[in-house]
Amino acid sequence: MASVLKTTHHGGCPHDCPDTCSMVYEVENGQLTSVKGNKEHPMTRGGLCVKLKDYEKRHYHPDRLLYPMRRTGPKGSGQFERISWDEALDEITSRWKAIIAEHGPHAILPYSYLGNQGLVHGLNGGDAFFNKMGATVCERTFCGEGSCTAWLLTVGPTAGVDPESFIHSKYIVIWGCNSVSTNIHHWHIVKDAQKNGAKVVVIDPYKSKTAKEADWHIAPKPGTDGALAMAMMHVIIEEGLQDQDYIDNYTVGFDALAHRAKTRTPEWAATITGIAADDIRQFAREFATSQPAAIRLGVAVERNYGGGQAIRAITCLPALTGAWRHVGGGALQFPVWEHPYKFDVISRPDLIPEGTPVVNAIQLGRALTGELGLDTPIKSMMCWNANPVTQAAETDKIVQGLMREDLFLVSAEHFLSDTASYADIVLPASMGAEMEDMVLSWGHLYLTYNEKCVDSPGEAIPNNEIFRRLAARMGYQEENFSWSDSECLENYVDWESPACDGIDLAYLREHGFAKLKVGTKDDRAPHRNGNFPTPSGKCELEIKGATNFVAGPFRQMYDGFQPGEPLDSLPDYVPSRETHESNPALAEKYPLNIISPKSHGFLNSCYANMESKIKGQGEQFVMISPVDADMRNIQSGDVVSVFNDRGKFEALAQITDDVSPGIVVATLGYWRQLNKGTVNCVSSAEFVDMGHAPTFTDNLVQVALNA
């Protein structure tokens, strides 16, 4: 009998999730046999979400791409032939050189997002290559970028409250985040705090899985969070519940903010939000007087036209009440701001030629169909770590653009995704256990190492190796294009940072993870005495002369052609574009507001092609209230069309009291190839008020029975 060699290795979940789980790969005779959570990790505690529990099956899925392929049939047909790596690289680079010679490098667009969160193989992994080329810069603002702009303006690049410190909180507000489905390990900490007596309030327009486990579910109308936050300010200030000593010493602009809040009464907010004025008063009083109080800001808050201002208003609340004085008090947005990553080294913005244009990823359809009026039309695109045909807005325009015969599309992928099906050349990319990396976390304060422990099947290679080979073919000589993955990790992290005291790559390889030296869950209160990383060193309740921007990592670290519009000096409520109040003519035609949260069983569009995950998640559905269903003669389980002027998709009706009349909910991630349209067919590609964030929850639709 042949001997069996069993080994275990450190892993880090590469998916777009704040938890960034530390994992353990189990390998037998060179094959990945199982993936488990690392029980030694203090936050992720050995647990994995439903997406990751059989991660090894994704590595060896029968539909996985194994070889470079060239399209042989019509775009979108899925007809390809196998070719060699040399053939693929030669065709790609020869086509690019020809395009550059005829149109210039601006005719080429890189397109990626967080399908992989690794420092080496993730979001910014191809930046240096395309920055050297002089290609059009891709501004990637799918998720949280408006929140980032508002947060950075108000409190600066601080990690805020350690998510583990929520165990000490007495009052916890989960604002616009379905933690049970998208931040499960933080939710475990929240539940522990709840058992210790903390009150948990969830703010969400519908009754999510998280809302159902809260002590109090507050359900504002979509896009009205800013009005709720402003009314809270009104109550706190009018009733003298503010911490005036903290305000006087550690904030800027209180008098101006108090003057604006004077008219933002609970009665004013009640007409906007649909929340009773007495409930708003109770919420404000409890938040101000139950210290330490902590807010977990979800990215969903930004997804309406006034989302940035809503985030600013919410971010001001802990300073007004002095919550920052306490361990477990304040707000949590993205802890990544205190991670010592060297994005300039990763992205090499110094290589970008002056005057290079920018195209936003959300508006891809408009870019490819000529609507943006670009000086140089896009003639080629490379897509990796992203699937815009399901994840970006105005899907039908994207498909129209990808169908162009004069568009040369390259896709590096694991499967023949909705987007990859339109590619001219498809490159097989490695998965998690097949490559070395450190996985960025935007949800906790740990560095997470991922070890290469198995070979990729077929001829798949890691993203960074793809760009190394392309750089060699293009003749790029910069040192970084020859770095191994290990050398990248040595150079991509500021190992001399105080946050890395006692931590180096060797330590991570041995232990798998390390907590940054920025305080512990039991003593971290970074703004007890102010010390905000803002120009004033204080929480900026008022910001004079501020202009709109997108944070550097989301635009290849390029500072050219920032949005630049002047911003209101104070936070406020800004109405959504598509509502009955703001656009009654449109609402007459399309009377329902649609919300499109993340799916419980998919990770964006990852896993949405796997039968077992689809079975757990269910077929594409739309949640609708009994009132709205009855008006349309819809029964539970009926096939319905959800539509507006931008497009439509089909779904199974789920009639439920979890949504209020006037609202429908359909989750993201389903594949267009397996369904008749998906939810982003009806999404607008317009931006919110800050950070070029998307308006995924600022869309009106109609729902009707299929004929």
- pLDDT digit string (tens) for 19-30? 999 999 999 999
Of the chain, the percentage scoring pLDDT greater than 90 comes to 98
Asked if the model's pLDDT at residue 596 lies above 80, the reply is yes
pLDDT for the residue numbered 11: 97
pLDDT bucket at 442, cuts 50 / 70 / 90:
very high
pLDDT for the residue numbered 509: 97
What mean pLDDT value characterizes the chain? 97
pLDDT bucket at 519, cuts 50 / 70 / 90:
very high
Distance CA 284, CA 667 (A): 31
What is the pLDDT averaged over residues 73-84?
Answer: 97
Beta-carbon contacts of residue 78 (< 8 Å; ≥ 6 apart): 416, 421, 673
Q: Which residue has the higher pLDDT, 706 or 175?
A: 175
Q: What is the dihedral of CA 348, 349, 352, 354, to 10 degrees?
A: -150
- For residue 247, count other CB atoms closer than 10 A to its CB: 23
pLDDT for the residue numbered 404: 98
Which runs of E-coded beta strand occur in 249-315? Answer: 251-252, 293-297
pLDDT, one tens digit per residue, over 286-316 is 999 999 999 999 999 999 999 999 999 999 9
What is the pLDDT averaged over residues 343-363?
Answer: 98
Q: Pull the structure tokens for residue 234.
A: 């009104």
Asked if the model's pLDDT at residue 683 lies above 80, the reply is yes
* Phi, psi torsion values for 88, nearest 5 degrees: -65, -50
**DSSP code for 704:** E
pLDDT for the residue numbered 461: 98
What is the pLDDT averaged over residues 95-111?
Answer: 98
pLDDT, one tens digit per residue, over 451-482 is 999 999 999 999 999 999 999 999 999 999 99
Three-state DSSP string of 99-154: HHHHHCHHHEEEEECCCCCECCCCCCCCHHHHHHHCCCEEECCCCCHHHHHHHHHH
Asked if the model's pLDDT at residue 1 lies above 60, the reply is no
Give the C-alpha distances (Å, rounded to integers) separating 588 from 208, 271, 289, 422, 454.
Answer: 28, 20, 43, 37, 57
pLDDT for the residue numbered 72: 98
pLDDT for the residue numbered 53: 86
* Phi, psi torsion values for 31, nearest 5 degrees: -115, 135
Q: Pull the structure tokens for residue 147.
A: 């929140």
pLDDT for the residue numbered 2: 64
pLDDT bucket at 333, cuts 50 / 70 / 90:
very high
Strands 663-665 and 592-595: parallel
Distance CA 369, CA 401 (A): 5
Asked if the model's pLDDT at residue 3 lies above 80, the reply is no
Beta-carbon contacts of residue 212 (< 8 Å; ≥ 6 apart): none
Distance CA 663, CA 230 (A): 23
pLDDT bucket at 587, cuts 50 / 70 / 90:
very high
pLDDT bucket at 4, cuts 50 / 70 / 90:
confident
Distance CA 57, CA 170 (A): 41
What is the pLDDT averaged over residues 34-55?
Answer: 92
Residue type, 343: F
Q: Please, which residues bridge with residue 271 across strands?
A: none
Asked if the model's pLDDT at residue 693 lies above 70, the reply is yes
